[in-house]
Amino acid sequence: MAKTATTRYDVSEHLRTPEEMAAYLEACLEEADGDAAFIAKALGDIARAKGMAQVARDAGLSRESLYKALSGERSPGFDTILKVIGALGLKLHAEAGHN
pLDDT tens per residue, range 10-25 = 888 889 999 999 999 9
The pLDDT value given to residue 98: 73
Helices 18-31 and 36-50: angle between axes, nearest 10 degrees: 170
Say if residue 86 is exposed, middle or buried (CB neighbours under 10 Å; 0-12, 13-18, 19+). middle
Look up the pTM and report it.
0.85
pLDDT digits over 35-92, tens only? 999 999 999 999 999 999 999 999 999 999 999 999 988 889 999 999 999 999 999 8
